[in-house]
Chains A and B, each alone.
Chain A
Amino acid sequence: MNWLPIMILIPFIFAIFVPLIYKRFTPRVHTGWFVFFVPLTLFIYLLRYIPAISKGETIHNTIPWIPSVGINYTTYLDGLGLIFGLLITGVGALVILYSIYYMSKHREALHNFYVYLLLFMGAMLGLVFSDNILVLYVFWELTSISSFLLIAYWSQRKKSRQGALKSMLITIFGGLAMLSGFIMLSMMTNTYSIREMITEVDGMIANSLFLPAMILILLGAFTKSAQFPFSTWLPDAMEAPTPISAYLHSATMVKAGIYLVARFTPIFGGSSEWFWIVSGVGMITLLYGSVNAVKQTDLKALLAYSTISQLGLIMSLLGLGSAAMYFGHGDESTMYAVAVLAAIFHLINHATFKGSLFMVVGIIDHETGTRDIRKLGGLMHLMPISFTLTIIGSFSMAGLPPFNGFLSKELFFTGVLQAAQLNVFNMETFGIVFPVIAWVASVFTFIYCMILVFKTFTGKYQPKRLEKEAHEAPIGMLIPPIILASLVIAIFFFPNVVSKYLLQPAVVAILPDFAQNGGAHVQISAWHGWNTELFMTIGVVALGLFMFIYLKKWIRIYGVFPQSLTLDHLYNQGIEKTESISYRLTNRYMTGSIRDYLVYIFTFMILMLGGAIWLSNGISFDSSNDAPISMYEGGLVAGMVIAACTVLFSKSRMTSLIAVGALGFLVSMLFVIFRAPDLALTQLVVETVTTALFLLCFYHLPDFSKNIGRMRFKATNLIISIGVGMVVTILALSVNGNRLFKPISSYFEDSYELAGARNIVNAILVDFRGFDTMLEISVLCIAGLGVYTLIKLRLTGRDKE
C-alpha cells in the first residue's frame, strides 16, 4: 500500500481541526506549534523516497474518482515532483516555525491564517503530484484561491484587499486559459493523463490545436509565475504577512508556473515556438524585474521584483533547455540539457536564499517597524545575526562565491552561451541577444543586492525615524533563516550530492530522452578555469560595484520613464474601463421591470427553440398514430381556453387566481382521461397548494386597477406572444413526428423485476433516476431556505429602522 495519495490530503484534513485547536489552546499555546508537525511529517516522509527516485524509479498510484469520464485521482512521483514536494514541505515547516514568532497569538486570528496556509500546502502538493490534468487544474485554482485569502489576511487594509483582488484576477484568468489548453490537449490525445500524453507526442506537432494549446497553457504558467507582462500582481501581493510572502510568493506558488512548463516540456519541447516563447518571455522578465528592483525603496517590493527577475531566469533556462528535445539524445543535446539542470538547480537555490532574505526583511520590519530603505541604516551593530544572514542571501543572489547562487549563475551563463551557438530556430541571427540580456540583467541584480545589504545595515543609524528601538530578533525567528542560509553555503560545497540525488532525476523527468543515461552528466564545480563565464561574472562585479557607488548620480533616469506606461497603470486603467463599460451595459438592459425580462426570456426562447426546429428541419406532423379526439377531451380543452381568457380579461386578482386554478384542475382532469393517475394526483395537489400560496402572496400586493389602468398596445409584445405560442405548439406537434433515439421505455417496463415496484413512475423517481430526485429535493430545500431567509432578513431589517 502506497500512502502518497493520502499524505497529500493530510493538510486538508488537519485544516478541519485547526479552529478547534485554536479555540482550545489560545492563548496558552500558539496554534502554529500544532500545525508545524504537518509539513515536518510530510517532509520526512518525502525524504524517504529520495534513494528510490535517484535510481530512476517513479511511483504512481491511482484512485478512481469519476472513472466513467476518465478522471482519476492519480498521484505520480518523479524527480521533478519530489523536488517541489520537498520545497513545499521543507520551506513550509520553516515558515510555520517562523510565523509562530511573527504572528502574535494575542492579536491575530490565527485559526484563519493556518487554515488558509494548510489549504495552500495541500493544494500545492496535489498540484505537483497529480498526473491527471483536470485534477491538476482543480489544485491549481485552489492555490490561487488560498493565495487570495492569505494576501487579504489583514483585510481591514485597503491595499491588502486590492492586492489580493489583483492577484486573483490575473492568476484565475491564466488558470482558465490553461484549462482550455488542457481540454485541447486531451482532445488531441484522448487522455487526461500527462504520462500517457507524453507517449503519444509523435505527430501531435502537426495538429492544428498544438499551437493554441501550447499558448493557452503557457498563459497559465506565465500568470502564475509572474512573468512579463503579468508580473504586476506580485509586488502588490507583498501586502500579505511576511511568512506568506516568503512561502507563497517566493518559494512555492510562483514556482507552480515553472513546474507546469517543466512538466509539459516533454510534450511541447523541441518546437521552435515553445523555445522562443518560453525563453524570450523569461529573458524579458529577467531584465524587467532586475531593472525595476533597483529603484524600489520598500525592502519587500525590492525582493518582489527580484523574485520576478529570478523566475524569469529559471523560465528562460527551461526554454533554452527545451532545445535538447529537438536533438533527441546525444552529446549535442547534453549541451542544452545543462540549461535544464541549471534551471532546477537555481530553483532550489532561489528558494533557499530568497526564503531567508524574506524572513530577514520580516525581522527588520518586525523589530524596527519599517521596511523603507530611506529610514533604515546602520543596523549592522544592532542586528549582527540578521546582517550576516542578509549578506549570505544577497551575495548568493548576486552570484558570488562561496554561495550556491554562484554555481547556478555560472551554469546560467553556460546555458545562454551555448544557446547562442545554436544553429536552429533562427538562433544564428538572434542568438547573441541572449548572453547580452543575461549579462545586463546580472549587473542590475548585483546592484540591488548591494542596495539590500548596504543601505539597510551600513550608513547612519536613524533612531528618530523608526517606530521602535531596533534590536535583534528572538532566536525562534532566527532559526528558520539560519537553516536556509546554512543550506546556501552547504550546497556550494557539495553541489554534486544535490545533483546526483535531486537534479538528475528531475532532468530525466523533464527530458525523458535522457532516461537511459540516468540524467545529463554535468560535473558542477566551483572552479572551472578561466573561461568566458568567469570573465562575465568578473565583469558583472566590476560594473555593478561602479554603478552602485555612483547610484545617486544615475538613479534619476528612472523618473524619465512615463508613469502612464507602467504595467500597474495599464492594469488600473483596464479595470476601471471594464467596470464602467459593464456598468453602463448592464444598466441598459437591467431595467428592473419584470415585463422587460419576460420579453428577453421569451425572445430568446423563440430564437433558440424555433431556430433549432427550423435548422434541423424538425417540423413534421404525423397524425397517423393519434387516437380520435373524444367529446370529453374537446370539452375540457374548451374549458381550458375559457379559463385562460378569463385570466387575461378579469379586473381583479382574485378572479384571475381562481381562473388559473381552474385551468390547472382541468389539465389534471385531462391526465385522468389519459390514464396517468400519478400525474393527475400530483397536478391536483400542486394546484391546491399553489393556489393557497398565491392567496397568501396576493395579500401583500396592491389592487390591480391602481397600477395598471389601460395598457398601451405594443406590437412587439404581440409578436412575441404569438411567437411563443406558435413555437410551443409546433414543438409539441413535432415531437410525435420525430424519433431521434430509440425509446428507453422498454427498460422501465421491467420495473417490477428490477426494482420490485409495480408503479413505474415511482420506480423511476426513487430508483432508476434516484440521483435526479436526490438533487431535486436538495434544490427544493435550498429554495425553501432561500425564501425563508429573504423574508426573515427583510423583516429584521425593517425592525431595526
Chain B
Amino acid sequence: MKKPNDVILHSVTKVAVVIILTFSIDLFFAGHHDPGGGFIGGLGFASALTLLLLAFDIEWVRENIPIDFKVITASGVLIAVLTGLGSLVFDAPFLSQTFNYFNLPIFGKTELATAVIFDFGVALAVIGTAVTIILSIAEDR
C-alpha cells in the first residue's frame, strides 16, 4: 500500500492534540462551577486520542501510548465506587458527597469537593471505554 503524504494533517494534529488535551483537562476541572465535567472532559480526551489514531496509524499510537485502556476503564469505575464507599467510613449514606473551603498556598481560598474525585472516576471510565472500543474496532482489519 502506498503511503499517503499527509504532512499537513500530521503537523496540525501535533499542535491540535495538545490544545484539545489541555482544553479537556480544563473542562474537567471547570465542571464544578462552569460547563464541563467528567463526562465531557473524558470524551474530549478520548477524541484527542482518536484524532491521533486517524492522523497516524494504530501501531504508532500503541507504541507511544503504551497504556491498556481497559485498566483505565476499570480503575475509573473502581474510583467512583470507592468514593461512594468512602462515605460509609464517615457514617454517611453510600455516595454522600461533601465539600469545604481551604486556604491553599498558590490558589488562595479554594473549594475542595469529594465530588471531583467521583467525577475523576467518571472521566477515566469514559476515556477508557471510548478508546477501548475505537482501538479494538480499528485493530480488527
- Residue ranges of A at the interface with B (Cβ–Cβ < 8 Å): 677-678, 681-682, 685-686, 688-689, 692-693, 695-697, 699-700, 755-759, 761-763, 765-767, 770-771, 773-774, 777-778, 780-781, 783-785, 787-788, 791-792, 794-795
Contacts and interface: CB of A to CB of B under 8 A. Distances in A.
Given A780-B129, A788-B132, A792-B136, A689 B37 contact: no
A777 B113 contact: no
A457 B61 CA distance: 77
B138 interface: yes
20 contacts: A681-B36, A686-B43, A693-B133, A695-B54, A696-B138, A699-B141, A755-B97, A757-B99, A758-B32, A765-B38, A770-B118, A773-B80, A777-B126, A781-B73, A784-B73, A784-B129, A784-B130, A784-B133, A787-B132, A791-B136
B134 A755 contact: no
Contacts of A699: 141
Query: What 7 pairs across the A-B complex have the smallest Cβ distances?
Result: A784-B129, A756-B99, A677-B35, A777-B125, A758-B33, A685-B43, A762-B37
Nearest to A771: B95
A105 B54 CA distance: 57
A758 B130 CA distance: 28
Interface string B37-68: 11110011011001001100000000000000
Contacts of B136: 787-788, 791-792
Most chain A CB inside 10 Å of its own CB: which residue of B38, B54, B136: B136
B2 to A, nearest CB: 17
Chain B facing A: main interface SS: helix
B134 A785 contact: no
Nearest to A778: B77
Q: Which of A692, A770, A792 has the most CB of B within 10 A?
A: A770
Interface string B72-104: 011011001100100000000011010100000
B115 interface: yes
A757 B70 contact: no
Q: Which of A681, A688, A765, A766 has the most CB of B within 10 A?
A: A766
Given A685-B43, A693-B134, A774-B95, 13 more contacts: A696-B137, A756-B32, A756-B113, A757-B115, A759-B35, A762-B32, A765-B119, A766-B97, A766-B119, A781-B128, A784-B128, A787-B137, A788-B133
A689 B130 contact: yes
Given A700-B140, A766-B97, A773-B80, A780 B37 contact: no
Nearest to B84: A774
Contacts of A762: 31-32, 36-37, 115, 119
Contacts of B38: 765-766
Contact of B32 (A681, A759, A774, A795): A759
A758 B119 CA distance: 15
Nearest to B30: A759
B35 A757 contact: no
Contact of A766 (B34, B37, B46): B37
Nearest to B97: A767
Given A759-B33, A765-B39, A770-B97, A696 B115 contact: no
Given A696-B138, A759-B33, A762-B36, A781 B133 contact: no
B43 A678 contact: no
A605 B62 CA distance: 43
A780 B77 CA distance: 9
Given A682-B43, A686-B43, A693 B33 contact: no
A787 B126 CA distance: 14
A572 to B, nearest CB: 45
Interface string B19-33: 000000001000111
Contacts, number: 150
A689 to B, nearest CB: 5
Nearest to B139: A791
A121 to B, nearest CB: 29
Nearest to B44: A685
A20 B125 CA distance: 32
Interface of B: 27, 31-40, 43-44, 46-47, 50, 53-54, 70, 73-74, 76-77, 80-81, 84, 94-95, 97, 99, 111, 113, 115, 118-119, 121-122, 125-126, 128-130, 132-134, 136-141
B43 A692 contact: no
Main DSSP-derived SS at the A contact region: helix
Given A696-B137, A761-B37, A784 B81 contact: no
Contacts of B95: 770-771, 774
B26 to A, nearest CB: 12
B80 A777 contact: yes
B134 A696 contact: yes
Contacts of B139: 791
A766 B90 CA distance: 19
Nearest to B31: A762
B77 A689 contact: no
A792 B36 CA distance: 34
A699 to B, nearest CB: 8
Contacts of A778: 77
Contacts of B133: 693, 783-784, 787-788
Nearest to A777: B125
Most buried by B among A755, A757, A771, A794: A757
A601 to B, nearest CB: 23
A781 B125 CA distance: 7
Contacts of B35: 677-678, 681, 759, 761
Contact of B77 (A685, A696, A763, A777): A777
A795 B137 contact: no
A774 B80 contact: yes
Contacts of B54: 692, 695
A765 B41 CA distance: 14
Contact of A678 (B37, B97, B113, B126): B37
B1 to A, nearest CB: 14
Given A678-B40, A755-B115, A762-B37, A777 B76 contact: yes
B35 to A, nearest CB: 4
Nearest to A769: B95
Given A696-B138, A766-B37, A759 B31 contact: yes
Nearest to A767: B97
Contacts of B70: 784-785, 788
A570 to B, nearest CB: 49
A786 to B, nearest CB: 9
Given A777-B125, A791-B140, A689 B47 contact: yes
B18 to A, nearest CB: 17
A773 B37 CA distance: 12
A781 B43 CA distance: 14
Contacts of A757: 32-33, 99, 113, 115
A686 B43 CA distance: 7
B60 to A, nearest CB: 16
B137 to A, nearest CB: 5
Contacts of A695: 54
A780 B119 contact: no
Contact of B140 (A678, A681, A686, A795): A795
Nearest to B123: A777
Given A788-B136, A791-B136, A692 B50 contact: yes
Contacts of B122: 765-766, 773, 777
B138 A681 contact: no
A689 B40 CA distance: 12
A681 B80 contact: no
Contacts of B129: 780-781, 783-784
Nearest to A700: B140
A758 B138 contact: no
